[in-house]
Homo-oligomer: A and B are copies of this chain.
Amino acid sequence: MSDRFSFALSATDGRARRGTIATPRGTIATPAFMPVGTAATVKAMLPESVAATGAEILLGNTYHLMLRPGAERIARLGGLHRFMNWDRPILTDSGGFQVMSLAGLRKLSEKGVAFKSHIDGSRHELTPERSMEIQRLLGSDIVMCFDECPALPAPEADVAQSMRLSMRWAERSRAAFGDRPGHALFGIQQGGVSRELRAESAEKLTEIGFDGYAVGGLAVGEGQEAMLGVLDYAPDMLPGDRPRYLMGVGKPDDIVGAVARGIDMMDCVLPSRSGRTGQAFTRRGQVNIKNARHQDDPRPLDETCTCPACAGYSRAYLHHVFRAGEIISSMLLTWHNLHYYQDLMGEMRAAIATGTFAAWERDFHDARAQGDIEPL
């Protein structure tokens, strides 16, 4: 274990990168997918089960945790790691993205954002300084700058104005974060789908200097094509010797496309949320377990998958417990989806290390093109 935060690349294949992040709480093989533990739990999973899927880092949400149970309370209880029984690295977002989504409940100023809690209507404020304080109270290993993130599509002038505010907030975040050995602060590139604005943002962030850099403001309504279009150039604008994190992405093919374009870290609620709504991800695409065609099917979701849901249960069982509203349905499908995502990351890391990423990527798309197994 390292006593400092560091990042080292061990291989590249095309633009895809294989690396390792070291932190005092453990190392993270990249490209890495981070399950989301919004309210101090990855929904429907015990933390040891999350670790069993191969996840080496979780994401926690500043907005949710500051409102309930409260950052000061978590600090008094020994920090977020102890609170949620997860001793490996945690990345926390800044709260910026979530408060921006509170249309009608928030007020934006140069200073920050004043908003009302969606839980009880109580008044709160998030500023770069308060966001850094909350993330410190939580004990986050990787802290994100407080930023503003407009929904797309938006007029370029609005995107530019918002990006420049985020860059001023990035400077304030950097100053407020201070020097915390073993903890990292990541800057967030903004600029929507504009190459010029992305370049301006990257230049400003690099000038301030961060331990890692996120590509922010994507997966907010622009569509996969536009997103991958931005990823064709945006990651390369950021320092190559630091991890690059694509926030809030995504479906399996989004993730593969992002890794192919030089992204090292990702997070998304999709595998866990889909698990709770009966959607399973497999190498042959998406399976809706609610569909009646599964009700007599003795086969597992995916015969090649080693997760507990596939090792122990038929599609018929998974269909039954979903229809019956049983909690085990969320538990098994979430576990399967997180396991599948981690398998995907492991396969990509191996392919990059051996210089076979392009061939792997073709196989990935071929398997999906076949579609789910034939009904019985």
Contacts and interface: CB of A to CB of B under 8 A. Distances in A.
Interface residues of A, number: 37
A45 B47 CA distance: 15
B77 A327 contact: no
Contacts of A78: 298
Sorted nearest first, the 10 A-B pairs with minimum C-beta distance are A85-B312, A44-B327, A69-B320, A41-B328, A39-B324, A41-B326, A77-B316, A77-B298, A83-B317, A43-B327
A39 B331 CA distance: 16
A73 interface: yes
Contacts of A332: 46
A135 interface: no
A40 interface: yes
Number of copies: 2
Interface in A296-343: 296, 298, 308, 312-314, 316-317, 319-321, 323-324, 326-328, 330-332
A76 interface: yes
Nearest to A334: B327
Given A46-B308, A78-B298, A327-B330, 16 more contacts: A39-B324, A40-B317, A41-B327, A43-B328, A44-B327, A45-B328, A46-B332, A68-B323, A68-B324, A69-B295, A69-B319, A69-B320, A77-B314, A83-B317, A83-B320, A327-B331
A268 interface: no
Contacts of A308: 46
Contacts of A44: 327-328, 331
A84 interface: yes
Interface string A328-364: 1011100000000000000000000000000000000
Interface in A27-69: 39-41, 43-47, 68-69
12 contacts: A39-B320, A39-B326, A40-B320, A41-B326, A44-B328, A68-B323, A69-B316, A69-B319, A73-B295, A77-B317, A83-B317, A85-B317
